[in-house]
Structure 1
Amino acid sequence: MATKILLPIDHTDDRSWKKALATALEQAKFYGAELHAVEVIPEIIQLPNLPEGYGSGAKDYVRGKVEAILAANDAAYVPVHIEEGSVYREILKLAHKDGYDMIIMASAKGDFPNYEIGPNLARVVRNAHCTVMVVRD
């Protein structure tokens, strides 16, 4: 039984959330669980030629994009977390720290037998302390 569900989203790729969001909403309703969304911004590399403060405002921009996706799918009430760093590490850290007992992630469709399971999804599945539901496209 799930009481707290985490849904990683990449606002730049609707395959990361389109089907998974619907599944997460169903699971949250079925279990009476809290649903939270997270997007991880990859670490911004500090190169000497980048201006000071490069990337400031990125979290607010991404939060707005994720909130718009949720609102357009009747899920505006879902809390949004924006993390920065390694995608799979930040998902795992958040899930462990905040006591999530289920993570729902999407996997893009590939041709049999090569279903597309990217490195972030594979690492989350292998290392999560909780149940991980993979939603196939």
Structure 2
Amino acid sequence: MATKILLTIDHTDDRSWKKALPLALEQAKFYGAELHAVEVVPEIIQLPNLPEGYGSGAKDYVRGKIEAIFAANDAAHVPIHIEQGSVYREILKLAHKEGFDLIIIASSKGDFPNYEIGPNLARVVRNAHCTVTVVRD
């Protein structure tokens, strides 16, 4: 039984939430669980050769995009975490630190041999301390 569910999302790819968000809402309701969402802003904005302050508004921008998506899908009540760094590492750190016992993550389309299982998804599945549900497109 899940008590805290973490939904991973990428606001730039609707495949990351079109099927996963309704499933996460359904699972949270079924279990009476707390549902949270996370998007990780990639670590590229932390590179030393970029100008000072580059990406300073990235977290606010991403939060606004996710809030709009959630508002349009009856999920405005879901807390949103915006992390910055390595995608899979930040998901795993947050899940462990905050005691999530289920991670819901969508697969993505890709080329053989990694179609639908990208490197971040594979690392989350392999290294998570809790159950991971993969929502296939």
* TM surpasses 0.5: yes
Counterpart for residue 40 of structure 1: 40
Counterpart for residue 118 of structure 1: 118
Q: How does 1:1-137 map to 2 (within 5 A)?
A: 1-43=1-43, 44=45, 45-47=47-49, 50-109=50-109, 115-137=115-137
Q: CA RMSD in A?
A: 1.7
Q: TM-score scaled by structure 2?
A: 0.93
Deviation at 1:52, TM superposition (A): 1.8
SS of structure 2 residue aligned to 1:38? strand
User: Structure 1: any 5+ residue segments left out of the alignment?
Assistant: none
Say if 1:109 and 1:136, in contact at 8 Å, map to a contact too. Answer: no
1:43-69 CA distances to partner (integer Å, 9 max, x unpaired)? 11221xx33211111110001011111
Q: Which stretch shows the higher mean deviation, 2-11 or 107-116? A: 107-116
CA distance in 2, matches of 1:133, 1:38: 15
SS of structure 1 residue aligned to 2:22? helix
Say if 2:42 and 2:85, in contact at 8 Å, map to a contact too. Answer: yes
User: Structure 2: any 5+ residue segments left out of the alignment?
Assistant: none
CA distance in 2, matches of 1:99, 1:53: 32
How many corresponding residue pairs? Answer: 135
CA distance in 1, matches of 2:64, 2:37: 12
CA distance in 2, matches of 1:17, 1:6: 12
CA distance in 2, matches of 1:109, 1:55: 27
CA distance in 2, matches of 1:113, 1:84: 28
Q: Percent identity?
A: 87
Deviation at 1:111, TM superposition (A): 9.0
